[in-house]
């Protein structure tokens, strides 16, 4: 070998070394990109059999694809759709994207990219993204609904107040009028009044007026609930208040309803609760709503309700708990109960606004409403309120 040849060989060796190093670096790079990619990536051969897959699986019921097995071999809707899409990709040799594929409670988007020996299937979990989009749409709808509702509420409120006022006066007039009419009957005998003889309709008269008054009161409550739902209060008062006092006052206000619903009602207030900052009337409204739901859930008066308070130093939160021994909330609609207008009480005039307003109030105070219920075995609702509430917008 000549010296020249010797030099050539040295150069070729160096060149080769560089190429190898470069290849190694590229391989390392590709490996990292593949293995640590947050998307689940699976490489399949032209028969759709798994050649390799990375580790990005995001939930427990999502095992890694088995090597050598067809990637979409199951009979779930997702597998059926994706098997077809993979076949089309390989036949047409063109990458494709498939979005909104649902499987195991998750929503996925797939990208399938063909290459000489098969295809790369990239799967992204877009469940959270979809949920956020749906929430945004829901929030926009609710904002529009809020504007509509406050307009309607205003229009209904004025004439209804006139009715309430008149009915109250009418009630007193009827009380005064009945003895006069009784006296006339005594003197002149029975006489016709509206739809029948006085004797037949006499006892119905006060009940009819009372019934109208109760109906008008119900409209008033509904209107005020709708108003609370639709707007944030202006003129907000931020007080430091004693949670136990609020709980006790809500229990007092609900006294007669509670007594009708159960013989077993307890209030258990924790000592030394730190004061909370917020709007007393609103927190009281939440407790009243929760107590009212608890009363309505009880099948008989032997089932109990416990209203209690506690302080959790770890999270620095005060808890107000309403525990009932009622019918419980079936898991099917547990996630919907705080949606505005969701109610299972159509027959008894439920509006489905109680919990929606309560949740709004809790969140405006920086807190939350947490429900725990197994259908049939009662319900525990916990209102959590942070002690250090720096939320200036406590508009509740
Ligand atoms: N303690 C409870 N036990 C069982 N179901 C409950 C309980 N609290 C709430 N629910 C369910 O949640 C639904 C929504 O409650 P929410 O208070 O928002 O409305 P509502 O009670 O139906 O009507 P209203 O607007 O008059 O309060 C109820 O219809 C009921 O099905
Ligand atoms: Mg309710």
User: Which of ligand 1's atoms lies nearest the C-alpha of 326?
Assistant: 3
Query: pLDDT tens for residues 206-259?
Result: 999 999 998 998 888 888 877 776 655 444 457 889 999 999 989 988 888 899
Identify the DSSP state of 220: H
For the stretch 114-167, pLDDT in tens is: 999 999 999 999 988 888 887 777 777 777 777 788 788 888 888 999 999 999
Q: Which long-range contacts (CB under 8 A, 24 or more apart) does 49-57 make?
A: 51/117, 51/118
- Local confidence band at 189 (pLDDT 50, 70, 90 cut-offs): very high
40 lines ligand 1 (CB under 6 A): no
pLDDT of residue 395: 42
Please report which ligand is nearest the Cα atom of 355. Answer: 1
Is any atom of ligand 1 closer than 6 Å to the C-beta of 353?
yes
User: Among 345, 353, 370, 383, which is best to mutate for testing ligand 1, by the most ligand atoms less than 8 A from CB?
Assistant: 345
The answer to whether the CB of 340 is under 6 A from ligand 1 is: no
Q: What's the pTM value of the predicted model, to 2 decimals?
A: 0.55
Query: Which fold, 37-125?
Result: Beta-Lactamase (3.30.450)
d(CA 264, CA 262) in angstroms, rounded, equals 5
**CA distance linking residue 253 with residue 283, whole number of Å:** 13
The domain locations on the chain are 37-125, 133-230, 239-386
**pLDDT tens digits for range 286-340:** 999 999 999 999 999 999 999 999 999 999 999 999 999 998 998 888 889 998 8
| Residue 47 scores a pLDDT above 90 | yes
Q: Which residues pair with 268 in a beta bridge?
A: 308
Q: Is the CB of 378 under 6 A from ligand 1?
A: no
In this predicted structure, what is the pLDDT of residue 392? 44
By DSSP bridging, strand 239-241 and strand 305-312 are unpaired
Closest residue (by CA) to atom 11 of ligand 1?
Answer: 337
Domain 239-386 class, CATH top level = alpha beta
**What distance in Å separates the CA atoms of residue 58 and residue 339, rounded to the nearest whole number?**
29
pLDDT of the residue at 394: 43
Are 93 and 114 in contact by the 8 Å Cβ rule? The answer is: yes
Lowest mean pLDDT among 2-16, 39-53, 356-370: 2-16
Per residue in 11-27, pLDDT tens?
Answer: 888 999 999 999 999 99
Best of 225, 325, 354 for a ligand 1 pocket test (most atoms within 8 Å of beta carbon): 354
C-alpha of residue 136 to centroid of ligand 2, in Å: 26
Q: Could you report the per-residue pLDDT of 26-44, keeping only the tens digit for each?
A: 999 988 888 888 899 999 9
Would you state the pLDDT for residue 232? Answer: 52
SS3 call for 367: coil
């Amino acid at each position: 070998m000549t010296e020249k040849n010797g030099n050539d060989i040295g150069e070729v060796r160096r060149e080769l070394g560089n190429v190898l190093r470069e290849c190694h670096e590229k391989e390392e790079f590709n490996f990292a990109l593949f293995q640590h990619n947050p998307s689940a990536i699976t490489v399949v051969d032209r028969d759709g059999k798994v050649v390799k897959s990375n580790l990005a699986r995001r939930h427990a019921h999502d095992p890694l694809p088995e090597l050598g097995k067809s990637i979409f071999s199951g009979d779930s809707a997702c597998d059926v759709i994706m098997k077809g899409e993979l076949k089309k990709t390989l036949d047409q040799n063109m990458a494709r994207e498939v979005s909104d594929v649902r499987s195991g409670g998750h929503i996925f988007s797939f990208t399938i990219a063909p290459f000489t020996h098969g295809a790369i299937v990239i799967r992204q979990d877009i469940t959270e993204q979809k949920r956020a989009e749906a929430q945004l749409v829901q929030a926009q709808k609710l904002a529009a609904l809020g504007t509509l509702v406050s307009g309607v509420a205003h229009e209904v409120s004025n004439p209804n107040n006139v009715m309430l006022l008149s009915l109250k006066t009418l009630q007193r007039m009827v009380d005064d009028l009945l003895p006069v009419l009784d006296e006339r009957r005594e003197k002149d005998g029975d006489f016709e009044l509206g739809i029948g003889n006085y004797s037949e309709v006499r006892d119905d008269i006060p009940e009819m007026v009372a019934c109208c008054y109760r109906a008008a009161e119900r409209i008033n409550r509904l209107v005020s609930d709708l108003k609370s739902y639709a707007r944030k209060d202006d003129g907000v008062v931020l007080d430091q208040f004693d949670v136990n006092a609020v709980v006790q006052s809500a229990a007092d206000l609900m006294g007669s309803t509670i007594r009708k619903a159960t013989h077993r009602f307890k209030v258990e207030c924790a000592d030394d609760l730190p004061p909370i900052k917020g709007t007393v009337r609103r927190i009281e409204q939440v407790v009243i709503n929760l107590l009212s739901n608890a009363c309505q859930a009880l099948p008989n008066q032997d089932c109990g309700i416990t209203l209690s308070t506690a302080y959790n130093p770890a999270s620095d939160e005060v808890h107000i708990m309403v525990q009932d021994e009622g019918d419980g909330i079936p898991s099917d609609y547990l996630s919907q109960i705080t949606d505005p207008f969701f109610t299972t009480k159509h027959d008894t005039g439920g509006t489905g606004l109680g919990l929606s307003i309560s949740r709004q109030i809790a969140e405006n105070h920086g807190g939350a409403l947490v429900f725990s219920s197994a259908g049939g075995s009662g319900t525990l609702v916990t209102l959590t309120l942070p002690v250090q509430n720096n939320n200036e917008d406590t508009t509740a």
